[in-house]
Amino acid sequence: MVPRPAPVPDPAPQAPPGLAEKMEVLLAWGKWGVLVCGVAGLFICAGQMAIGRKNRSAFAADGATGIPWVLGGLSLAATAAPIVGVFFK
C-alpha cells in the first residue's frame, strides 16, 4: 500500500495589507500609458502612410504594416486582466 501525499495548499490571491490600493493606482497608470502609446503608434503609422504616399511607397507600407501590431498591443492590454484571471479560477 502506497501512502497518499498530502494535498498542496492553493489559497486565493490576496494583496498584502495596504498594498491593494497602491497596486490599483500603478495598474491604472500602466493602462493609461498603454493607451497613450497606442494612440501615438496609430498617429505614427498614419504619418508614415501620409509621408510615403509620393515616391516613398516602402515608407507608406511600413506604416500600414504597423497598424495590426498597434491594434494587437492595444487588444492584449484590454484583455490582459481577463486572460490572467483565467489562470486563477
Grid coordinates of 14? 490576496
Grid coordinates of 15? 494583496
Q: What is the pTM of this model?
A: 0.75
Does residue 66 contact residue 43 with C-beta atoms inside 8 Å?
A: no
Query: Helices 57-86 and 20-51: crossing angle, nearest 10°?
Result: 160
Residue-level pLDDT, tens digit, the chain, 89 residues:
778 888 888 788 888 999 999 999 999 999 999 999 999 999 999 999 999 878 888 989 999 999 999 999 999 999 998 998 888 77
Report the C-alpha gap between 59 and 64 in whole angstroms: 9
Alpha helices by DSSP H, listed for 1-87, are 20-51, 57-86
